[in-house]
Every structure is written in structure tokens, then in C-alpha cells.
Amino acid sequence: MYIYIVKRLLFLIPTILGIILIIFAVMNVTPGDPGRAILGVSARQDEVDALNHQLGYDLPFLQKYVNYIKNIVTKGDFGISYFTKQSVFDEIWPRFVLTIKLALCGILLSTLIGVPMGIYAAVKQYSLYDTIPSLIAFFIASIPGFVLGMVLLYVFSLKLNILPSYGAKTIRHLIMPVFAISISAAAQNMRFTKSSMLESVRQDYVRTARAKGLPESTVIWKHALKNALLPVVTQIGLNLGLLICGAVVIEKLFSLPGIGGLIVDRISFKDEPVIIAGTILIAVCFTIVMLIVDLVYAYIDPRIRAKYSRTSTK
């Protein structure tokens, strides 16, 4: 099992190299340059060329790529921002921490709401306890996060004035953003949990457990739920990765200084060091989330754990 984890972590190396190469290639073919974006359209071309040379932007594509990799490996240096002239890591790390905090709170809330509702709806199939939550989940899942966020801003900030509308200084500042990004994920979790539970309770081993006279609570929580959780865990892991990558709209709406908003802002300035470093952090985090999902899989299902053990010994 440990060998499998090491292999997955080592797989990060070619993943990161490929991500950096793709970003460099995309930035190389897109029009514009940081010198013109920083100095403005009224600047003379010789001034723009001088700034691009100073930033190292006019170097050949492969040379820029190799130099960037060399600086990361030998110095742990992600470069200096073209726009602010500050260390890239010092600039993006606080924003990355905020995005991670927002995503973790969102996924925790969506799991606490969606999974229990899905289990209860499956157990009470065809009753009002199933029909009403299912209809609500279908309705909520169709609402974009930014629409829900604007409604929350209008009600709780503008009308009631009980929650701050921007910033991330206290827990109160995160209540509306967390709710805005988690409610749709909660609806998805509810639907996945319900469908997975319905499939699980129809299996032979569940009927056998009931035939043995086990209490219904034991049949549901000990036998059916354990196998039903496997696709739910996958969905939760994917939602966490998507929240880390896709919280840009919510960050912009609530004026949160997250990493997604920073990357989007710097694209217009072609600030390659910030864009690449931010994307690397997101990619590494997403890969680690998927690794954790695999480990949770192995913990829930011993068959998967045995498979990993056989794979590791080969």
C-alpha cells in the first residue's frame, strides 16, 4: 500500500512538467505581451521591448521552460511577478490558503447536508420524505452558484444587514460564500447517495441480512451503506477538486482574495510566473485529493485494499 502511495506521489512529477509545458505553450501563442499590458497602449515600442527583455519574456520558448524548471528544482524559486515585482510564492500562498479553506468548508457542508438526506430518501422511497427532498435537490442543482450568491447578498447584506458582503477577515465573511458554493454540491451528493443506496439495498447480501432477522438499522448502516458509499466518495472528491479550481466566480462575487481570481486577473497581463505557479498548486492539490479518495476507497472496501497490496508487491 505504501509503495502505491509513493508511486502516485512520484506521478506528480511528469504531471507538473506537462502542466508547465502546456501553460508555457498557451501563453506563447496568445497575442500580447506583459510589457505592453503593464506600460499601456500609449507606451513606445522600444520601452515595451526593453521591459520584456528585463522580464525575460523575449527568451526562446524552450529556454524559458528549462530555466523555470531549473529554478524550481535548484532554488525552490517560482519567479518574480511581472506585474507587482514581488515573489510569486509569497503572493499566491495566502490566496491559495483562502481558496482551500473555502473549498473545504463548502465540501464539508455539502456532505453533511447531502449524504444524510440521500440515505433517508432511499430508505423512505416513494414517501413524502423521498419525494420532497428529491424535488428540492433537482431544483437547487439547476441554480448556478453566482445566482444563489447574489440572492444571499441581497437578502442578508443589503436588506437585513447581518452579514458582510465582501472580504475574508472573519468566519462571518465566509458564511455566504461557503453556502453559495456548497448548496449545489449538496444536491448532487443527495442524488448520488440516494441512487447508490437504492442499488445497494436491492443486493442479495442485504436480503440475506434481513432474512437472518437483523434489525433494519443494522442492515442499512452496516451492510448497505458501506458499499453504497464508494461512488459517493468519488463524487465528494471530484466536487472538492472542482471547488478548488472553480471557485473563481464566487471569489469575485464576494470580493475574496482567492487564487482563482488572482490567476484570472493576471491572464490579461500575461503574468506567466503567477499563472503557472497558481496552476501548479491547484494541480498538485487536485492530485492529492484523488489520492485521498483512493485511500478512502481502500479503507471502505477490503477488496480494493487487497488489490492495491497485490499491485504494490509486483
In tens, the pLDDT along 35-74 reads 877 777 788 888 888 888 877 777 888 888 888 888 888 8
For 2, the grid coordinates are: 505504501
In a domain, 171, yes or no: yes
Cα separation, 45 vs 36, in Å, equals 8
- Residue 61 maps to a domain: no
pLDDT < 50: residue spans in the chain:
none
Q: Is residue 36 part of a domain?
A: no
Q: What is the domain extent for residue 157?
A: 93-313
Q: Over the stretch 74-109, which tens digit does the pLDDT of each residue have?
A: 877 787 887 788 888 888 888 888 888 888 888 899
Query: What are the residues whose beta carbons fall under 8 Å from the beta carbon of 192, sequence distance 6 or more?
Result: 114, 118, 231, 232, 235
Instruction: Pick the closest to residue 290 from 216, 236, 224 (CA basis).
Output: 236
71: in domain: no
Residue 289 sits in a domain whose CATH number is 1.10.3720.10
Supply the pLDDT for residue 9: 75
pLDDT value for 195: 84
pLDDT value of residue 157: 86
Rg (CA), the chain: 24
The domain total for the chain is 1
- What pLDDT shows up at residue 66? 86
Structural domain includes residue 242: yes
The mean of the pLDDT values for the chain is: 80
Q: Does a structural domain hold residue 28?
A: no
Is residue 91 a contact partner of residue 81, using CB atoms and an 8 Å limit?
Answer: yes
Q: Which three cell numbers stand for residue 313?
A: 508487491
Per-residue model confidence (pLDDT) at position 304: 62
Q: In angstroms, rounded to a whole number, what is the distance separating the alpha carbons of residues 189 and 233?
A: 9
Rounded to two decimals, the pTM is 0.78
Residue 26 lies in a domain: no
123 within 8 A of 220, measured Cβ to Cβ = yes
Residue 52 near residue 34 (C-beta atoms within 8 A): yes
